[in-house]
A and B are shown apart, each in its own frame.
Chain A
């Protein structure tokens, strides 16, 4: 009886979620294995899972959406990020878990075309991916190293309003560190942006 209770307790702790959590992230911590997200549909009409990017040396998973003005401010910066790091084997993957009308797959396709996205833009209306990563805002970035460990999470940089005013490009610094096999100076920074609403 007691043994059963102990097993039940262990199982419930495991099910309730990871014992880890970051300074701001309530689900993941730095150094943890990145959760594999299920196959989700991209604006290219194809299914994408984390495993599909096995050849990438570094993956930058970014939770973003169409409607948020902060996310919109970063669209051009994400295109530049992919362009600048393409040759180094870095893959940007944008994921939208928002459920609003403006953020549905149809509108995502339009946005990806209009803004010239050079990276996959994936739609997960089930919000499972956002919950697995503990993403709270758009945009919110996760940098995954070659072993798919999380080496950085949070803000893309330190100035969402003006790209020209950025002094600390957190994600770029984390990518550089991961490519060189070292830890970045900043490992977790609070993301600034619109809250992702998790509906029951």
Chain B
């Protein structure tokens, strides 16, 4: 009898553990990208504050952008280990708060290692980055610039118009064009002025 009670208790713990393990970090929203070859990364941070981060490759990233058709999309290419990215990130959150109602969607694309997603989620929660967040499947490996079709210098900003077409890239490390954060604001506002095609 005692043995049976221990067995039942163990079974209950295992099942409840599985339930928590699969549901921490989930939201009611459907993931914007295909399940294959991407996957959902979750970490056990404090419930209610966890921000979903989806691991993407090139195809997953393209699908994620396409899912925002009709909206202007600002992609912030960043990493927790990148000082200028971290410094600049609150500005991206500000843009999201300021222009979301006018049709701006923001997508964060982290170049941290997928295995280190917990640190990424912690950072995002602290900054209130409640927009869509992705993480590079290859981290910041040499192939990441080709995978995500940019110059590989973080931070980097890409703007897609309401048709889902790449409209502008802003790279703070472009030595030919000195960077100011309000360059991003101006580009966002310009694209928002173009109405969605009917």
Contact = CB atoms under 8 A, between A and B. Distances in A.
Interface stretch (A4-12, A112-120, A129-137): A129-137
Contacts of B175: 26-27, 130-131, 133-136, 196, 198
A172 interface: no
B142 A192 contact: yes
Q: Which of A130, A159, A198 has the most CB of B within 10 A?
A: A198
B152 A192 contact: yes
B160 to A, nearest CB: 21
A43 to B, nearest CB: 20
**Interface of chain B, main secondary structure:** loop
Contact of A194 (B84, B142, B180): B84
Interface in A179-200: 190-200
A69 interface: yes
**Interface of chain A, main secondary structure:** loop
Contacts of A192: 140, 142, 145, 152
A197 B179 contact: yes
A26 B172 CA distance: 14
Interface residues of B, number: 24
Interface in A121-140: 130-131, 133-137
Given A136-B151, A136-B173, A155-B142, A194 B179 contact: no
Contacts of A191: 152
A200 B180 contact: yes
A195 B140 CA distance: 12
Contacts of A135: 175
Nearest to A72: B81
19 contacts: A26-B174, A26-B175, A67-B83, A134-B175, A136-B153, A137-B152, A137-B153, A190-B151, A190-B152, A192-B142, A193-B153, A195-B154, A195-B156, A195-B171, A196-B153, A196-B175, A197-B173, A198-B173, A200-B178
